[in-house]
Amino acid sequence: MTLLLDVQNLVVEFGPVRNPVRVVNGISFTVQAGESVGIVGESGSGKSMTALSILRLVNEPPARVSGKVLFQGRDLMQIPKRDMPAVRGKEIGMIFQEPMSSLNPVMTIGDQIDEAIFLHEDLSKAARRQRVIDLLRLVGMPDPENRLSAYPDQFSGGMRQRVMAAMAMACNPKLLIADEPTTALDVTIQAQVLAMMLDIRTRLNSAILLITHDLGVVAEICDRVVVMYAGHIMEDAGVHELFANARHPYTQGLLKSVPTLNDTRKRLHQIPGTVPPAGTIKQGCPFRPRCPMRMDRCAVEMPPLVAHGPAHRAACWATQPEGVA
């Protein structure tokens, strides 16, 4: 396996320098080539901010972003901002939640996908047209030749998300970042789009970084999962390991509170309390007020991410294995 993306100590903060609101709190994680990694979290966990800062799409100011984002060994935080468009869309593709607000309503979808190729590659018009048709076929658009001249409003939500995916995949990116790609879609359409993403992945061998709040979606298409809460990584592990053997009380509570089709419990498990607004908990573990296993130490010090086995890390004083200080 080769390391594709290596995020080190990423911090995103807003507000006054002396008393900042940290929405992403020094997180580190990696994505291997061809791997699909899910970042799961509730609102305010900092998952979207993480995705946007990898692409350097966070406005600075007001935000302050620090840390390293090593993509194929090159630190994206250090390259001049004007060079970023050459990375975005070419080496890293993006899919966002709302396909309608991310597509240009007065441009045909053929021209929009063509633009993504035109900006990054030196191909003749005819070759580009052929590529657009191939891309639309790849994402499962029926009758692609005749759909090139259609406008976004002529498509349904699921089809627009396919157009977005075709644009994201236009230059065979090594990494595809998808921020809640199926959240706005109905379940039967979501199933189609997830199947499409899996299909793209096996055919082009791109890595996927999927941002979502839905553990079901993660179980479906991810190899590895990063669980975020209030700007911190609480746990990360392989998908089977995480679902079978979660070590953090937040992950455990989250897994138990998801309603599923085949469970026969009379009541749902509930995590008490509410998600804290971003940056309000400045000391100790942010999950502490809701945690069934909290200890005195949790109020003082944020627990570090420690290994709980191969490729499994969790940040919790209570479940930390013995022998780790």
Q: Please report, as ranges, the residues that interact with another protein according to CB under 8 A.
A: 42-43, 156, 158-159, 186-192, 194-195, 198, 213-221, 239-240, 243, 253-255, 257-263, 265-272, 274-275, 290
What is the residue-wise DSSP string for 94-149? EE-S-HHHHS-TTS-HHHHHHHHHHHH----HHHHHHHHHHHHHHTT-SSHHHHTT
Whose structure tokens read 């901002």?
Answer: 81
Distance CA 72, CA 120 (A): 18
Find the shortest distance in angstroms from Cβ 271 to another protein: 4
Give whichever of 131 and 232 is closer to another protein, judged by the CB atom.
232
Closest CB to another protein among residues 54, 159: 159
Calculate the alpha carbon distances from 204 to 26, 180, 296 in Å.
32, 21, 50
Query: C-beta of 72: minimal distance to another protein in Å?
Result: 28
Cis peptide before 144 (omega within 30 of 0): no
Nearer to another protein, 66 or 156 (CB): 156
Q: Measuring CA to CA, which residue among 129, 133, 182, 177 is closest to residue 160?
A: 182
Alpha carbons 106 and 124: distance in angstroms, whole number: 24
Asked if residue 213 lies in contact with residue 227, where contact means CB atoms within 8 angstroms, the answer is no
Read off the tokens for 133: 């048709």
> What's the closest the beta carbon of residue 181 comes to another protein, in angstroms?
12
The tokens 């996927």 sit on which residue?
208
Q: Which is nearer to another protein, 77 or 255 (CB)?
A: 255
What is the nearest approach in angstroms of another protein to the Cβ of residue 269? 6
Instruction: Give, in order, the Cα–Cα distances in Å from 154 to each of 32, 102, 254, 297.
Output: 38, 15, 38, 57
User: Please, what is the minimum distance in Å from the beta carbon of residue 175 to another protein?
Assistant: 22
**Minimum gap (Å) between residue 227 Cβ and another protein:** 12
CB nearer to another protein: give 57 or 244.
244
Report, in Å, the least distance between residue 224 CB and another protein.
11
Closest distance to another protein from the beta carbon of 126 (Å): 31
Task: Let me know: does 320 contact 306? Beta carbons within 8 Å.
Answer: yes
Q: Which is nearer to another protein, 261 or 325 (CB)?
A: 261
For residues 272 and 310, which CB has a smaller minimum distance to another protein in the complex? 272
Cβ pair 24, 11 in contact under 8 A? yes
Reference 161, options 128, 194, 187; nearest CA is 194
Q: How far is the CB of 77 from another protein (least distance, A)?
A: 30
Nearer to another protein, 58 or 159 (CB): 159
Residue type, 254: L
Q: How many CA atoms lie within 13 A of 321 on its CB side?
A: 9
Nearer to another protein, 79 or 191 (CB): 191
- DSSP character for 85? H
